[in-house]
Amino acid sequence: MKRTDKKRMWQQYFRDRWRLFLIFAVCFIIFLTVFLLYRLEKEAFCYACLLCAVFLGALFLADVVSFVKKHRKLQSLREEIGFTLENLPHETKVEGKDYQELLFLLMEEKNRQSFVYETERKEMEDYFTLWAHQMKLPIAAMKLVLETDRKPDVKVLKSELFKIEQYAQNVLVFFRMKSPYTDYVFREVFVDDLIRQAVRRFSGEFIRKKIRLDFQETEQKIFTDEKWVVFVLEQILSNAIKYSGEKGEIRIYAQDEGEIVVQDNGVGIDEVDLERIFEKGFTGLNGRMEKQASGLGLYLCKNILKNLSCDIKIESKKGKGTKVHLFLGQRKIGGGKADFLQK
């Protein structure tokens, strides 16, 4: 221990115990005053002082040894204090035990916060790994078209550029969804207007792949956040178009109160994959065959709808198409007093 550290240690020791020394001094003065007032023999006074001095000296020595040991122990624990508190010196005083209990509570909270941070960091890392892989594919496709064709097909380039726009939007949605300050704005909106917004965004893809759209107007209103519901509809339509193939058909209709269905006659989903399609990063057999799926779209949809107190369900059979059921609180137009339902 350095000389300055020793000096600081002793200063701290006497600073912590000045009240105790003051009590001893007051007791000694009282003791002396009583002897003088009663004019007792000096030998008795000196003998009593000697006994008190021996007793107090032994207590003082024991206290000093205990203080020095504890101080050195705490100094040695500085390097491992971030990992464990198990080696803290044993406390016998109530105040010391209370402080140690607070330290253990702080350590528990620190570990919890570290676990949350590490989980979010890992999730973010996984997401951007998938996202970067996803972004590379349309960029590589555009590069190939531009390098091999003297007159590049504008429709193909626009289609690949549209995918890049989608992926960029997905990463923004992912950040907003994770933020505690997500700007939800709830109001009454027409379901059909939301569907039309999503369909217009994919109009070029419908034309390019010659996919037929059968949109049956729902004539319903819902009380929700327009921006987030439109994003969910776009993700569902994107998957339907992706797996419908050339000259497929997509139907959009209301099946029940609060239930909107997006149905396609595409390749369908294997029964084994159905239970895991909402997991982050899960692509399933179709995604592996398509080689452009990241397994993020349905994961985002599930979490967004959960935040909106809504739900999503998917029915599908391999080779027989897919039905996506969106459960949104809704009411009929002209239904009088608002009566919002929630599935």
Question: Are residues 171 and 254 both part of a single domain?
Answer: no
Question: Are residues 307 and 273 both part of a single domain?
Answer: yes
Confidence of residue 293 (pLDDT cuts 50, 70, 90): low
| For residue 135, pLDDT beyond 50 | yes
| For residue 286, pLDDT beyond 70 | no
Integer Cα distance of 335 and 339 in angstroms: 8
Residue 88 falls within a domain, yes or no?
no
Helix (H, G, I), strand (E, B) or coil at 220: strand
Question: Are residues 162 and 266 both part of a single domain?
Answer: no
Question: Are residues 179 and 195 both part of a single domain?
Answer: no
Question: Are residues 327 and 199 both part of a single domain?
Answer: yes
| For residue 294, pLDDT beyond 70 | no
Asked whether the whole model's pTM tops 0.85, one would answer: no
Confidence of residue 77 (pLDDT cuts 50, 70, 90): low
Tokens describing residue 290: 């398509």
Question: Are residues 225 and 295 both part of a single domain?
Answer: yes
Amino acid letter, 121: R
Question: Are residues 231 and 308 both part of a single domain?
Answer: yes
| Helices 226-242 and 191-201, packing angle to 10 deg | 50
Look at residues 127, 156, 183 and tell me which one is the last residue of a structural domain. Answer: 183
Residue 337 falls within a domain, yes or no?
yes
Phi, psi of 324, rounded to the nearest 5 degrees: -110, 120
Integer Cα distance of 142 and 127 in angstroms: 23
Which of 190-194, 253-257, 296-300 is modeled with the greatest confidence?
190-194
Distance from CA of residue 224 to its chain's centroid? Answer: 24
Tokens describing residue 155: 């429709």
Closest to 330 (Cα-Cα) out of 218, 202, 197, 193: 218
Residue 82 falls within a domain, yes or no?
no
| For residue 78, pLDDT beyond 90 | no
Question: Are residues 173 and 196 both part of a single domain?
Answer: no
Please give the pLDDT value at position 16. Answer: 77
Please give the pLDDT value at position 181. Answer: 66
Please give the pLDDT value at position 232. Answer: 93
Mean pLDDT of 218-232: 90
* DSSP-assigned beta bridge partners for residue 221: 190, 331
Question: Are residues 28 and 110 both part of a single domain?
Answer: no
How many domains does the chain fold into?
A: 3
Question: Are residues 307 and 165 both part of a single domain?
Answer: no
High-pLDDT (> 70) share of the chain, %: 83
| For residue 287, pLDDT beyond 60 | no
* DSSP string for residues in 276-307: GTTSTT--HHHHHHHS---S-HHHHHHHHHHH
CA atoms within 13 A on the CB side of 44: 9
Q: For residue range 182-194, what is the model confidence (pLDDT) as tens digits?
A: 677 888 999 999 9
Look at residues 183, 206, 240 and tell me which one is the last residue of a structural domain. Answer: 183
Integer Cα distance of 36 and 42 in angstroms: 9
Question: Is the Cβ–Cβ distance between 261 and 323 less than 8 Å?
Answer: yes
* DSSP string for residues in 238-290: HHHHHTT-TT-EEEEEEEETTEEEEEE-SS---TTTGGGTTSTT--HHHHHHH
Domain containing 29: what range? 3-76
Residue 37 falls within a domain, yes or no?
yes
| For residue 283, pLDDT beyond 70 | no
Question: Is the Cβ–Cβ distance between 322 and 334 less than 8 Å?
Answer: no
| For residue 139, pLDDT beyond 50 | yes
Question: Are residues 200 and 342 both part of a single domain?
Answer: yes
Question: Is the Cβ–Cβ distance between 262 and 326 less than 8 Å?
Answer: yes
Confidence of residue 233 (pLDDT cuts 50, 70, 90): very high
Please give the pLDDT value at position 84. Answer: 63
Higher pLDDT, 177 or 158: 158
Distance from CA of residue 86 to its chain's centroid? Answer: 29
Integer Cα distance of 283 and 296 in angstroms: 8
Helix (H, G, I), strand (E, B) or coil at 98: helix
Mean pLDDT of 56-83: 75
Question: Is the Cβ–Cβ distance between 277 and 294 less than 8 Å?
Answer: no
| For residue 288, pLDDT beyond 60 | no
DSSP at 213? E
| For residue 331, pLDDT beyond 80 | no
Question: Are residues 27 and 103 both part of a single domain?
Answer: no
Distance from CA of residue 69 to its chain's centroid? Answer: 43
Q: Which of 101-105, 158-162, 186-190, 202-206 has the lowest mean pLDDT?
A: 101-105
Q: For residue range 18-37, what is the model confidence (pLDDT) as tens digits?
A: 888 888 888 888 877 887 78
Helix (H, G, I), strand (E, B) or coil at 189: strand
Higher pLDDT, 122 or 247: 122
Burial 173-196 (b: 16+ CB within 10 A, else e): bbebeeeeeeeeeeeebbbbebbb
Q: For residue range 304-318, what is the model confidence (pLDDT) as tens digits?
A: 898 888 999 999 888
Question: Is the Cβ–Cβ distance between 310 and 329 less than 8 Å?
Answer: yes
